[in-house]
Amino acid sequence: MQREPAFERSKAKLNLVPTCDGKPLAQLKGADTNAKTLWNLKREFVDVYHVVNRHYAKLREHRARRPTERDQPSERLLLQKIETALIAKENLENRSAARGISVTPVYRDGFTIDLRFQHPGAAKYLVAGSSASRFVTLSLPPEFELTGRGRSRVSS
């Protein structure tokens, strides 16, 4: 019996639509005009991140196939769709930053599961930032000589 990849087993449980501040978007709709404007902006963010999640799920499914079943043009197309969605997300972030609104996504297994909004009048979240780094060793030709502080010179 052939076993499914872990991603395939968990796909049914995975909701590709992120929540807002820990709640489904529908629960946040307010009655006053200010709340409606903020709700509409949150909806736009949820929509954009949903598109990214959807295309990322398709990319993971594509990459889970055997190499003989995969074709590079399909993977390239999926990557282009993800890139287009990320550009739309960045444009939305730039537009909302001018109004003092910022969004911090919460990720699980590469998917955005929640969006934490910061805006004037919002409760402040303690957000744990993350970063990644990689140390790369490069071999330089013998004529390069390190002089300290990251500077180098070519010896003659």
Q: Provide mean pLDDT across the span 27-33.
A: 61
Asked if residue 153 has pLDDT above 70, the reply is no
Asked if residue 43 has pLDDT above 80, the reply is yes
Asked if residue 41 has pLDDT above 80, the reply is yes
Share of the chain above pLDDT 90, in %: 35
Q: Provide mean pLDDT across the span 21-37.
A: 71
In-domain check, residue 141: no
Q: Among 27, 39, 47, 30, which Cα is nearest to 92's?
A: 47
The pLDDT value recorded for residue 93 is 93
- pLDDT tens digits for 88-131? 999 999 999 888 889 999 999 889 999 998 877 665 555 555 55
In-domain check, residue 32: yes
In-domain check, residue 42: yes
Which of these ranges, 52-56, 137-141, 144-148, has the smallest mean pLDDT? 144-148
Q: How many CB atoms lie within 10 A of CB 111?
A: 19
Q: Provide mean pLDDT across the span 75-98.
A: 93
The pLDDT value recorded for residue 38 is 82
Distance of CA 111 to the CA centre of its chain: 7
Please, what is the end-to-end C-alpha distance for the chain in angstroms?
Answer: 67
The pLDDT value recorded for residue 121 is 67
DSSP state letter for 32: S
**3-state DSSP call for residue 153?**
strand
In-domain check, residue 107: yes
Q: Which amino acid is at 61?
A: E
In-domain check, residue 1: no
pTM (2 d.p.): 0.66
Residue 80 belongs to domain spanning: 6-123
Find the radius of gyration of the CA atoms of the chain: 22
The pLDDT value recorded for residue 156 is 55
Q: What's the whole-number average pLDDT of the chain?
A: 77
In-domain check, residue 129: no
In-domain check, residue 61: yes
Q: Among 50, 58, 80, which Cα is nearest to 8's?
A: 58
DSSP state letter for 155: -
**Domain count of the fold of the chain:** 1
In-domain check, residue 136: no
